[in-house]
Structure 1
Amino acid sequence: MSTPKWSRRLLCLSLSLPLGLPWGEALACGPDFPARLLDNRAQTLAELPEGSFRFEVSRLGQAIAGLKSASEATRNPDYNYDDMPGYIAQRDQAERIGLTPPQQAVVERVRALNDIDQARAEAANLPAELRLYAIGAAAFNLGDHQQAAQAFQELLALPADQRPLRSTWAAYSLGRSLFAMSTEAGRGEPATLRDQARAAFRQARELSIGGFSDPLELGIASLGEEARVAYTADDWDSAIELYASQFLHGSQVGYSSLLYLAADLAAQPDERLDALLKRAGVQRLLTGYLLSRVGWWDGEEPSGEKRLFQRLQASSRASLDNADRLAAVSYQHGDYAGAKAFVEKAGDTGLAWWVRAKLALRDADKAAAAAAYAKAAQAFPQEETWGGRRNADWDFEVVQPKCRVEGESAILALQRGDYLQAFDQLYRGQSNYWYDAATVAERVLTVDELKQYVDQQVPAPPALSQEDRDNYVPLPVAASLRNLLGRRLLREGRYDEAPAYFDNADLQAKARAYAQLLQQAESKWWPTRRAEAYFNASWIARRWGMELLGYEMAPDYATFEGNYSLEPVELKVGPLMAEGEVKRQQASAAQPDLRYHYRFVATALASQAADNLPHTSQAFAAVLCKAVGYNSSLEEQSALYQRYVKEGPYVTWAGDFGHQCQEPDFRSADKRYVTQALESLRSALRPYKRWLQVGGLALVVAVGLGLISRRRNKARVSAS
């Protein structure tokens, strides 16, 4: 069997086309941020995301019952077809299956021969199917397609039990031989030969389905070969359907060949294109091509694309079968009247209702838009996906139409004050629109609304193993939401409720420790004990603040572990953001609303610890020193240092304040309460030192005289 050159030619041509966006290059440049629907709400509602050419062409064919899908090697082939040894090695290995070592040696020798008579003589002692196939392959490689076809036909005429190894191979190669004959002058009626070739390719599929040996997956390859024959005969609809079926069975050659056909359509002159567009398959292929915006770069329409759209639109006025996609293409090209005309002919598909929602928004009918969005979400299958795209801000989005429709509908729900519905719609998108769902969860919903939703609908998923964490397995979205709630409860002082929502035992223990320390700080009566609790809580807030207190989104971006931040979105009442939402977001903003806000929380707790310590104690200086090292802001660091300078004691390590700090000695601080009180009294009495000394001496003399007088009186009483 020789190499199928046509499919490779199609594939190579398709690779020269702009197949879409350079994902590999984009990902190599830095972080890849998912799209946020709520950032630019007007843009989100106005745009209709491009479709997926892969998805669109999957609708053009049908899978063949019983025909196995392509193996991984065929799904992801090595596209370097200049290097043929890889394919030849695969073929040679397949030819050895079921053969004895001597038979394998004969087959390999016959493969190397350039003379049909020698090949026939060398293969004379092989079993009939191996002998006939070896002769046919030798003839095919030498360009003698007549003899090749005769050998393959003789093989297929053998009883079925005598040809288990080469039946599929022979039918496939017979089809190729007959097609080659149809292109040769003087070979008879080309149409008849093409029909015979197509019949042979269909037979190859039937044999593969029937269990005859097919290690090279020729049953799938026959779809592409038959499509080539149909294309040559100007039977575009059959070619499109066959290539689409080949793609449905996992062959990338089917996909790339359809791209080639779409590009071929784009190159046709108007008259020829108009004639082809009268065919349903051609019309659907070009519609899917335009809907997917194949070849567009950074939102710019390629040269000639407008002509294709206009020819397609003109030829499709009476179309009913493809009306929803024609409406979508019209909308994408800014022809809203055309979109309306087509969508009126469309049925109740998800895409049709999506376009209706967009058109209703253009007419400022938000109620009709909301109703259309609801029907679109219901009509789109959950599993339908259009693949990856970049939006106008170059953010990455995997378009799952059902999730995207619900996300857009959430914008309208927010605007009318249905906050829980908006959150639910965004959350159902899971990782697709997690940033938007997180924003609503921690900034728009009240903590009680969020807690009730989580308690009722978001059970705790199994905790990740340590191995998963070491391998950076992402948390389930449910766990991320529960973590968000736990952090919010801690921030709002609901210490008893918060720990249970964290996703692992370690964080739960840290949350409990933080909560207990703050409760102790508020309940202890002795100042030093309060100071110690405040300080230990501040250390936890600084060390584990992102995990325990950080906002999932702005300003801390716990979703990125604080490594990145996004452009802030202006909170402003407008057509798509009502005053109620603005007030809720303002009320739930971080305090202070600065990045790494938990550092400021930690600094404030350390300052409270210092408030409860004697200013002359080592602990006072050490607590302030530690707080400077929390790196909240230069202003706070300066203020803390100035406080130490003005109020604190001299310590030998103050020269590198904030970096080289001793641990606070809270036990010694207890003693400083007594010494500090005495020092304050001495300072107050120092101006009266001389008078106090004279008075003290007089007091001592008076006490002494009193004692002497008392003894004398006792002696007199005893003598009497």
Structure 2
Amino acid sequence: MWLRSLLCSLVLLLTLAPLRTAEACGPDFPHRLLADRVGSLSELPAGSFRKEAGRLVPLPADPFNAMEEAEEPPDARKGGEKETALYAAGAKAFKNGDFATARARFREVLALPAEERQRFSTFAAFMLGRNAGAGFEQDMKEGFELTRQLVRDGFDDPLGLAVASYGEQARRLLEQGDDAGAIQLYAEQAAHGSQNARSSLYLVAHALAGDKARLHTALKQEVVQRLMAVYVWTRSREWYWEDSSQLTRVLEALAQATESAPQVPGLSIADKLAAGAWRGGRFDLAERFASVEKTPLAAWVQAKLALRRGDTAAADKFLEEAAAGIDEHEDWMEETVGELQFRPYCRVAGERGVLALARGDFHSAPEQVLTSCSWPDLAYVAERVLTVDELQRFVTRHPTAEEHTCKRELEALWYDQDALETKTIPGRLRLVLARRLLREGRSTEALEYFKGTRWEEPARKYADALATTKQDVSNVRKAEAFHEAAKLARREGLGILGTEVAPDWGWVDGMYDVAVYDEDPERLSPGAEEARKPVGKTPLVGAQEQQRAASHAPPHANRYHYRLTASVLAQQGAELLPKHSQAYAMMLCQAARYAADDPKRFQELYRTYVKNGPANIEEPWSFGQECPPPAFERALSIKAPQSKRAPFRRRHLLMLVGGMLIPIAAGAAFYLRRKRPPSGP
């Protein structure tokens, strides 16, 4: 029995899990609105079926205790002597199939004085409902309703039978063909917190969607309309795998059944129909239902419709209206591994950030993206859109912002070392600013923002080494400082110089080139795919943003750009050393090793080394691979090689000049001799 229950539970959990496109293998990244801006603005997120199923009817004023996941308390079946004996006899008869005897014993328990049946009254009433059969069918309704009334009257319910009675009664109604009655009971059970009821509601909705006649009959009741509206909104992705005509059929049936656009106070339906229609690509129905009632979800749908028309100003106003009404703590995330869905409040703010960037509003955009709690998106804005000074002012304005509201989103970045070191968005922004300042040579300011992190010490050493290269010291000492700076850039580069976004991708700890995965965007709902083309007609990346993103890029475009920085520093140090020294050769060797990912630069460094003459190095080494430490002290004692070769060069020049003068002098003498007058006789 327990194995069958376990298998049924697993099947139900799988049916309620949100469907997504399958990946053969690879990492799961949190969704980024700025990675696919057209897709982000085209998509309207699906709500959570589980959450919405618990809201189909008003929340009860006196909720019963749901015990579906809990173990039975050890004293749950300890009651008075008489009630215990009578209930045990009835349970035994029920197990043996003697339903008449069982019915009699259960009624005897319920006939006892109230003080003598405090524990087993709910047990007996519940089993009376389960025991209902031929000849006493009325016991089903009586028993289950009595179970709930007894709990309201204060009788014990250690097993949560009041909540379970809704489901048992609903199941019997389903068997009798009363879909609406069953849905009403399941909805009441779900409102009491029953997860089993939410699973049952999904299965009933799924069955109705596939049976046109049954659907039209059930839709005469408002609770069924609410259920199916929730179903088409939250489960629209299932039509990827099933007959897509089902979605259209359900939407059209709902449109016909809700012709008068019913509005139940506190229980909106038109907005969910609008959302389901958008996701299903029925934009005509989305237009119709989105204007029926003013809710945050309806405003969100109207924003999508405005974007489809190309009216970004109206879209932003509708998004602002939606943000004002959405509960900041509302969460639609389903419990699926690797999936992180935005909270609706954060998603709306993020979409407003996309529109702010599109119109070049670089003051509003970072504020909206900050509210979205999307660190990858905020990292892009902080790294590539804002100037360093703008980022500095932004960090100052938000010294403690979002320390708690974005906790869930930051904890999802499990592969990011920064998430372990700095558990708040303000702390991470300070690190982005510190690295940008250090890359731009503003070391003193950078060190202030590195304080308190594990990168404070390596950043200080790096800054000190670069400062030494500019001091009035010997070239060898400067080269030694370049050597130290290059080592730090290579070993600690991601932490002190790296970029959170491209090319280093610090927000995934440098483990992945996220741009590769961006080439295969997440599959959208059918409606969002249809909306892509009209929404995409509006430019979403302006020329000013592109110019800023290019000018704020790191000095090298390569992934792990700080490795090339290390290579350049090592080469600069080598140029200060005697070219035939071991230190010169090893500095070039290290420069080549740091540039191993750049074959062109590697070859250039090797040609430089060969051109200047390999040094006679005793230690075993291989250029660009195994590089012994540079011997800077030995380099200090080496004199310039030109001083030894200069005397030879002067003698060679004198001999050359002398050789040229001899024939000239001889020719001059001969000429003068011919000009002399003849002597007398």
Smaller-chain TM-score bracket: 0.7 to 0.9
In the alignment, which of 271, 277, 300 is matched to residue 330 of structure 1?
A: 277
Which residues of 2 match residues 179-258 of structure 1 at below 5 A? 180-181=132-133, 184=134, 186-187=135-136, 190=137, 192-203=138-149, 205-206=151-152, 210=154, 212=156, 214=158, 216-231=159-174, 236-258=179-201
Instruction: Determine if the alignment matches structure 1 residue 370 to structure 2 residue 367.
Output: no
Instruction: Determine if the alignment matches structure 1 residue 603 to structure 2 residue 567.
Output: yes
Who is 1:285 aligned against? 227
> What are the ranges of 5 or more consecutive residues in structure 1 without an aligned counterpart?
78-89, 100-125, 692-720
Deviates more, 1:433-442 or 1:627-636: 627-636
| Alignment TM-score, normalising by the size of structure 1 | 0.78
Instruction: Determine if the alignment matches structure 1 residue 385 to structure 2 residue 331.
Output: yes
Which residues of 2 match residues 147-158 of structure 1 at below 5 A? 147-158=101-112
SS at match of 1:567: helix
Who is 1:273 aligned against? 215
Who is 2:530 aligned against? none
Instruction: Determine if the alignment matches structure 1 residue 30 to structure 2 residue 26.
Output: yes
How far apart in 2 are the matches of 1:542 and 1:611?
19
| CA-CA distance at 1:665 after TM superposition | 1.9
Who is 1:510 aligned against? 458
Aligned residue identity for 1:41 = R
**Cα 1:42–1:470 shift into 2, 3 Å:** closer
| CA-CA distance at 1:146 after TM superposition | 3.3
Task: Give the superposed CA RMSD.
Answer: 3.6
**Cα 1:509–1:254 shift into 2, 3 Å:** same
In the alignment, which of 55, 61, 86 is matched to residue 132 of structure 1?
A: 86
How far apart in 2 are the matches of 1:294 and 1:160?
51
Who is 1:80 aligned against? none
Instruction: Determine if the alignment matches structure 1 residue 146 to structure 2 residue 86.
Output: no
SS at match of 2:169: helix
| CA-CA distance at 1:158 after TM superposition | 2.5
How far apart in 1 are the matches of 2:33 and 2:107?
61
CA deviation map 1:274-318 (0-9, x unaligned): 232121100011111111125616587645332222212221222
Who is 1:110 aligned against? none
**Cα 1:488–1:9 shift into 2, 3 Å:** closer
| CA-CA distance at 1:682 after TM superposition | 4.3
In the alignment, which of 416, 432, 435 is matched to residue 376 of structure 2?
A: 435
Contact 2:299 2:321 in 1 (8 A): yes
In the alignment, which of 278, 284, 306 is matched to residue 360 of structure 1?
A: 306
Instruction: Determine if the alignment matches structure 1 residue 624 to structure 2 residue 584.
Output: no
How far apart in 2 are the matches of 1:297 and 1:342?
22
| CA-CA distance at 1:134 after TM superposition | 0.7
| CA-CA distance at 1:475 after TM superposition | 4.5
CA deviation map 1:437-481 (0-9, x unaligned): 11111001111111111122034979x9xxx99998584241332
Deviates more, 1:380-389 or 1:625-634: 380-389
Instruction: Determine if the alignment matches structure 1 residue 499 to structure 2 residue 477.
Output: no
Deviates more, 1:492-501 or 1:599-608: 492-501
**Cα 1:298–1:595 shift into 2, 3 Å:** farther
Who is 1:659 aligned against? 625
How far apart in 1 are the matches of 2:417 and 2:40?
37
CA deviation map 1:571-600 (0-9, x unaligned): x99711111111111111222211111111
SS at match of 1:509: helix
CA deviation map 1:151-188 (0-9, x unaligned): 222213323433343233222212222xx22xx2x44x
Aligned residue identity for 1:212 = D
Who is 1:637 aligned against? 602
Aligned residue identity for 1:551 = T
**Cα 1:618–1:597 shift into 2, 3 Å:** same
How far apart in 1 are the matches of 2:116 and 2:255?
56
Contact 2:478 2:573 in 1 (8 A): yes
Aligned residue identity for 1:422 = A
**Cα 1:294–1:428 shift into 2, 3 Å:** same
Contact 2:236 2:280 in 1 (8 A): no
| Alignment TM-score, normalising by the size of structure 2 | 0.83
Deviates more, 1:639-648 or 1:490-499: 639-648
**Cα 1:579–1:669 shift into 2, 3 Å:** same
SS at match of 1:428: helix
| CA-CA distance at 1:40 after TM superposition | 2.2
How far apart in 2 are the matches of 1:248 and 1:96?
25
Who is 2:612 aligned against? 647
Contact 1:55 1:386 in 2 (8 A): yes
Contact 1:327 1:343 in 2 (8 A): yes
In the alignment, which of 40, 51, 63 is matched to residue 36 of structure 2?
A: 40
How far apart in 2 are the matches of 1:240 and 1:98?
35
CA deviation map 1:107-158 (0-9, x unaligned): xxxxxxxxxxxxxxxxxxx910111101110122233333323322221332
Contact 1:172 1:204 in 2 (8 A): no
In the alignment, which of 275, 292, 297 is matched to residue 351 of structure 1?
A: 297
CA deviation map 1:500-550 (0-9, x unaligned): 333744311111111111122123342122111111011100011111111
Who is 2:346 aligned against? 403
SS at match of 2:291: helix
Aligned residue identity for 1:613 = L
How far apart in 1 are the matches of 2:471 and 2:242?
65
Contact 2:151 2:157 in 1 (8 A): no
Aligned residues: 622
Deviates more, 1:618-627 or 1:195-204: 195-204
Q: Which has the higher contact order (CA 8 A, sep 6+)?
A: 2
Instruction: Determine if the alignment matches structure 1 residue 161 to structure 2 residue 161.
Output: no
**Cα 1:520–1:134 shift into 2, 3 Å:** same
In the alignment, which of 485, 488, 504 is matched to residue 537 of structure 1?
A: 485
**Cα 1:524–1:223 shift into 2, 3 Å:** farther
> What are the ranges of 5 or more consecutive residues in structure 2 without an aligned counterpart?
264-268, 405-409, 520-535, 657-681
Deviates more, 1:421-430 or 1:581-590: 421-430
How far apart in 1 are the matches of 2:156 and 2:591?
77
How far apart in 1 are the matches of 2:92 and 2:430?
68
Aligned residue identity for 1:43 = G
| CA-CA distance at 1:675 after TM superposition | 4.6
**Cα 1:576–1:690 shift into 2, 3 Å:** closer
How far apart in 2 are the matches of 1:164 and 1:574?
69
Contact 2:129 2:141 in 1 (8 A): no
**Cα 1:504–1:252 shift into 2, 3 Å:** same
How far apart in 1 are the matches of 2:418 and 2:30?
22
How far apart in 2 are the matches of 1:596 and 1:404?
31
Contact 1:19 1:294 in 2 (8 A): no
Deviates more, 1:49-58 or 1:543-552: 49-58
| CA-CA distance at 1:202 after TM superposition | 1.5
